[in-house]
Amino acid sequence: MTVAQRLEAAMEFLITNRYVASHNLLWGATTADWGDVQPEHGWGVDLDENTHRAIDIYDNAMFIIALDNLMEMIPSSRTRWEVVRDEVFKSCRKHLWDKENQKFIPHIYLEGSPFPDDFNENEIYYFGGTAIAIEASLLSVPEIEHSLNEMVKRAKEAGAPSIGLTLYPPYPEGFFENQIMNPEYSYQNGGDWTWFGGRMIQQLVRYGFLQEAYEQLLPMTERVLENDGFYEWYSINNEPRGSGTFRGSAGVLYVAIEQLERALANE
């Protein structure tokens, strides 16, 4: 198979094995926003009989971006995938965007939630999934502005160092078997990840929020200098955690700074 054939085969796999026809969206495991931990196991995400299948915005926004990239690289693929892409786009707005609360709902569960019945998961705001949804062009400019204001407000309420905060409020302690998610504000349960915060900065630049992009970028760049490293994530007290040479953090910051400099030079 050629590389192009393999790329299309990957998309075909998703449509064949991970597509929910009733919603025209992809399903995956239950995770905390974009995370790699599900609540049913003391380790990562391995689909099995314990998994609670769910639909979320991160998976589907990434699917839209992947299809856009595929059609750009291989124009002949547009015949097959443009209709699929547009249907997923509309379905994200229909099923996952909470218009009343101006946020994305965390999950649509296909066979029930792994969390207690009295737990209102929709109170949680997903920072990372929202940033990727903006990258997929799913939100209007006014909705992006509202999303930024919501991120800033919630980060302040949490006492978090930046809008790299994964989510707020965090899942209560004990909701995930994996202890890296406990207590609250640990790892992807309320840790601060430049890896995704930097993506939001990039989208602010893309949509013309240059002053806001600069202001929200500063806490992320200042801690790189202070800690002499590109750390994987930060605690609620802005303490570095994980690898100190995390290429994901370095990459998104480099792109964000480069985009901001270019945008300011063109003003």
Alpha-carbon dihedral 40, 47, 187, 88, rounded to 10 degrees = -120
User: What pLDDT is recorded for position 243?
Assistant: 94
Contact 191, 170 (CB under 8 A): no
Mean pLDDT value across the chain: 97
Q: 209-244: per-residue pLDDT in tens?
A: 999 999 999 999 999 999 999 999 999 999 999 999
**pLDDT above 90 (res 143):** yes
Q: What was the pLDDT predicted at 267? A: 80
Amino acid 112: pLDDT: 97
Give me the mean pLDDT over the 106-131 stretch: 98
Average pLDDT over residues 111-140: 98
Per-residue pLDDT at 122:
98
In this model, does residue 19 exceed pLDDT 90?
yes
Average of per-residue pLDDT across 88-107:
98
Residue among 68, 70, 57 at smallest CA distance from 25:
57
pLDDT score of 166 more than 90: yes
pTM above 0.75, yes or no: yes
Pair of tokens at residue 106: 């965390």
Residue 44 confidence (pLDDT): 81
Mean pLDDT for the stretch of residues 3-25: 97
What does the pLDDT average to over 174-184? 95
Closest CA to 198 of 169, 172, 160, 230: 230
3-class DSSP state for residue 211? Answer: helix
- Mean pLDDT over 188-216 rounds to 98
Is residue 42 pLDDT above 90, yes or no?
no
Mean predicted confidence (pLDDT) in 49-78:
97
Beta bridge partners of residue 104, listed in sequence order:
97
Distances (CA, A) of 53 to 46, 194, 231: 11, 28, 31
Band (pLDDT 50/70/90 cuts) for residue 249 is: very high
Instruction: Please report the pLDDT score of residue 43 as a whole number.
Output: 81
Q: Residue 49 and residue 80: Cα distance in Å, rounded?
A: 33
Q: Which pLDDT band holds residue 45 (cuts at 50, 70, 90)?
A: confident
